[in-house]
Structure formats: structure tokens, C-alpha cells
Homo-oligomer: A and B are copies of this chain.
């Protein structure tokens, strides 16, 4: 983590990623017409839920949002601002605009989460799952709080699958002793590229062969 934190690139990317995940929560809250408290919770859960669940499971403290508590004030402001000024067309604009930072966040969080678990000597599959969890579970919890089946579970887009492949790559690069910053940024970059490609080419996961009942 030390090397990564020292990186000049990491902070701006992490800001983008957290903001993108927060915006996805904000839009979900707006769609459901939640009140101020609901919007704040769903926004916060989307932004920090994945990392928090990972840290609870790995028994790590303090949480990211305890260490960077000022971001919570920022998020509070963002939610209030959105409730006052957001209109339908902003939602549509925001949705398209966050695809890029969301893909960035997917890559960075998956790689970071995997590396954190690796540093704790976890088995390979656990490391990869922790990467995926960090990147994807904020959105899963967001949808559960909004009383919907998590989009990541049934939209058949290769989102978590790409994150999982990238996480395995992090493990592989560590195994051959590549410098740690490369172990993070190469898979994060590849996840980003594949995610963006998947969106623009409309890649879909294969479906079930069962018929509707």
C-alpha cells in the first residue's frame, strides 16, 4: 500500500472513482425519489460499501471513510446540491458521463482490493474475490437498499467478470515479482480498457438455457 499511496497518479484516480460510484448512488436515489436521508445513505453505500465490506471481512481498521472523514461532508453537500438543482436531463447526462470514471474506479478498486488481500497472505481466490467485492459490492448494496435485484447480478454485462480477470492478473504479476505499482496499474488499466470496450461493442455474458416458467 505504501508504494501505491506514494504514487502521484493514485489520488486523482481514486477521487474520480469514489465520485463516480457516489454519483451512481445519487442517480439511483433520484430515480427512486428517496428523501434527503435516503439519498445520502445510498450515495455513501455506493461509494464506500464495497471497501467497507472487504475491510469487515478482512478485519481491517480504520475504514477508508473514517480516515478520510472530510469526504463525507463533501458527499453531504453533493447530495443537497443535487436535490435542489438536479433535473431529468442531468440524470441522463450524468449517467453517460460517469461511465468513464466508473470504469476507472472498477479497475483501480479491483486491483487495490486484490493487493490488500495479497499483502495479508490470503489464498489466490480470496484475493481475487476481495478485489471484485471492493469494486462491485458498493453497487450491489446500493441496489439492495433501493429494493431492486442488483444490476451487477442480472444485466449480463461483463462487469464483475472483467474485474475478476483483472484481479487474477494482479495475483499473477505478484507471483512473478513485478514491482507493486505495476501489479496495480497494469491490471487496473486493462480492466478499464476492457470495460470501455465491452460497453461500446455491447459485449454480453452468455445466458441460461432454461426457459421461463
Contacts and interface: CB of A to CB of B under 8 A. Distances in A.
A42 interface: yes
B122 A86 contact: no
B38 A72 contact: no
Contacts of A70: 125
Interface string A185-213: 00000000000000000000111111111
Number of copies: 3
A146 interface: yes
A87 B70 CA distance: 49
Contact of A86 (B65, B66, B126, B210): B210
Given A37-B159, A38-B150, A76-B125, 15 more contacts: A33-B154, A33-B210, A34-B153, A38-B149, A38-B152, A38-B154, A56-B56, A66-B123, A69-B123, A69-B125, A73-B125, A83-B207, A86-B210, A88-B213, A146-B149
Interface residues of A, number: 65
In the A-B complex, the 7 residue pairs with the smallest Cβ-Cβ separation, listed nearest first, are A38-B153, A69-B123, A37-B160, A35-B156, A147-B149, A72-B125, A34-B153
Contacts of A41: 140, 153
Contact of A35 (B56, B144, B154): B154
Contacts of A144: 144-145, 147
B207 A35 contact: yes
B83 A208 contact: yes
Given A41-B153, A72-B126, A156-B35, A208 B86 contact: yes
Contacts of A155: 35
A160 B37 CA distance: 6
Given A63-B57, A209-B86, A124 B69 contact: yes
B126 A69 contact: yes
Contacts of A125: 69-70, 72-73, 76
14 contacts: A30-B210, A31-B213, A34-B154, A36-B161, A37-B136, A38-B149, A38-B152, A38-B153, A41-B140, A66-B126, A69-B122, A69-B124, A83-B209, A86-B209
